Amino acid sequence: MGSSTKYIFITGGVTSSLGKGIIAASLAKLLQARGFSVTIQKFDPYLNIDPGTLNPYEHGECYVTEDGAETDLDLGHYERFLDTPTSQANNVTTGRIYNNVITKERKGEFLGKTVQVIPHITDEIKRNFFKLGEDGQFDVVITEIGGCVGDIESLPFIEAVRQAKWDLGQNNFLVIHLTLIPFLAAAKELKTKPTQHSVKQLLEAGIQPDILVCRTEYHLPQEVKKKLALFCNVQLNCVIEAMDASTIYDVPLLMKKEKLDERVMSKLKLTSKTNTDLEQWKDFLGRLKNPTQEVNIGLVGKYVSLPDAYKSIIEAFIHAGAASECKVNLTLISSEELHADSIPKKLEGLDGVVVAPGFGERGLEGKIEAVRFVRENDIPFFGICLGMQVAVIEFARNVLGLEKANSTEMDPDSPDPVIGLMEDQKNIELLGGTMRLGSYPCELKKGSKAYQAYGKAKINERHRHRYEFNNAYLKSFEESGMFASGINPDTELVEIMEIKNHPWFVGAQFHPEYKSTVLTPHPLFVRFIKATIENKKTK
């Protein structure tokens, strides 16, 4: 433990999905704007080792870090707000904690002791709490505890937080409890009882929250704040109101107005090195809220009933839209509802189309038909991961005349496997082991749309996929007008495919959305939006 590092723990009560991640990211942003170096980590109480094998309907998208960790989507918020990369160490699950402890036990590291939740599991949790603070590069480590206080599965984490207080000592430890103040329409009043119960559960576990952040749809009157302070043993000025906001990017400014950062600093005896610098952030919000034009973009995918499955893409469009002072109206379109007859109706009125990432065969033919429609009708197109592979399959079938072209993921016996596994992957059976995950280099061809977007030849992007473009077909693709504009210099794998004579037709094998942040929107998204704006004008 870096002796100078301060630790903040964020717990949640009453209900899940109150936005602990956004509050954590907002507080981190405010501290960062005052000159502190901050990182955030998320502890998830489920037993999966990581979210890599979770269905997006269960847990939203799986976010990938530079070092190839498959993590919780909250890490995406951390990066988008702070503009600093996270890693494997920033997301830990119960599964990983138990896995580590059991591995040690099997190796005999506990010397025959009975292995128990306390101290062995809690020690392992604490080791992970403190890991990021050890090398002294962070002034503050914020730890978000997933789930809800009172859940059976989060008990060991709460106990580890209780112990951490004694390990860290005075002024180095702080607990923020995020809770809900519901408004009962029939009684026309805000109710504090759920919060009282939630704090009581924390107290039973031996933790006194220092700050209460109260999610609410209405302003909290002073008497409600007083009641909360009295019943929850919290200072009145540490009862913080968190009103619903029109955009998550408002939350740092709302929390600043509520003086959340000041309360934290005084409790941790932190003295600010600089004044809060949020000018760029305010500038971004100004452009976001005062667009001068708008475009309609269709996002074609198979998990559209849960927008969180495409969280990073949706946010990347917000960043890119603001960069051009353009309102991006994103319509989610289910690929399973798309077929040749329905497409003109479903896609009419769109200025651009994105085909989203995904795994498996469901909805594939719909995606192929959508790509054909936008290719033939000169509508700007952006394919991400599977979206790029779909564009390749469509081109092979309808331009190269290879009617049964496919990916071996969907049809292992396809006579024309334009997308397939690389040789060294074919014998691996565990799903987690066959992926190309994390950051890989890519070289761009000068003069291509991708090169224009990035303005440089060498880039690094994050991957999460198993199947690759089959280079045996590259020559015939390029002769017919679709060319590889981005190639991995080490493996010669194709990273980006483009069509020459088209307003904007780019498919990327990687996931650009993972690297888009508020202050550095992703160049491919920015150029795609610009292309849709320009194309709309020429119509």
pLDDT of residue 430 exceeding 60:
no
Has this prediction a pTM greater than 0.75?
Answer: yes
Task: Answer yes or no: is 21 a known binding residue.
Answer: yes
Nearest to 72 by CA among 32, 45, 108, 100: 45
Task: Answer yes or no: is 15 a known binding residue.
Answer: no
Task: Answer yes or no: is 397 a known binding residue.
Answer: no
- Helix ranges (DSSP H) in 429-491: 449-454, 474-479
**pLDDT for res 436:** 80
Q: Output phi, psi for 83, to 5 deg.
A: 65, 20
Question: What is the SS3 assignment for 45-81?
Answer: CCCCCCHHHCCHHHHCCCEECCCCCEECCHHHHHHHH
Task: Answer yes or no: is 325 a known binding residue.
Answer: no
Q: Catalytic residue among 315, 326, 513, 522, which?
A: 513
Mean pLDDT computed over 374-378: 93
* Residue spans of beta strands (DSSP E) within 204-347: 211-216, 239-243, 293-301, 326-334
Q: Catalytic residue among 148, 385, 394, 465, which?
A: 385
Query: Do residues 284 and 246 make contact, with C-beta atoms less than 8 angstroms apart?
Result: no
Give burial (CB, 10 Å; 0-12/13-18/19+) of 111.
Answer: exposed
d(Cα 314, Cα 308) in Å, to the nearest integer?
A: 9
Show the tokens assigned to 437: 């995950």
**pLDDT for res 12:** 92
Show the tokens assigned to 444: 């761009």
Task: Answer yes or no: is 188 a known binding residue.
Answer: no
Q: What's the pLDDT tens digit per position in 49-76?
A: 877 777 776 778 888 888 888 888 889 9
The reply to whether 217 belongs to the active site is no
Query: Do residues 198 and 14 make contact, with C-beta atoms less than 8 angstroms apart?
Result: yes
The reply to whether 468 belongs to the active site is no
Q: Catalytic residue among 120, 177, 319, 511, which?
A: 511
> Which residues touch 39 (CB under 8 Å, ≥6 apart)?
28, 78, 82, 84, 86, 90, 132, 138, 140, 141, 142
Q: What's the pLDDT tens digit per position in 325-334?
A: 999 999 999 8
The reply to whether 326 belongs to the active site is no
Residue in this structure with the two tokens 């109480």, named with its chain if needed: 45
Residue in this structure with the two tokens 């890119």, named with its chain if needed: 320
pLDDT of residue 2 exceeding 50:
no
Report the share of the chain in percent with pLDDT over 90: 68
Nearest to 520 by CA among 248, 291, 317, 319: 319
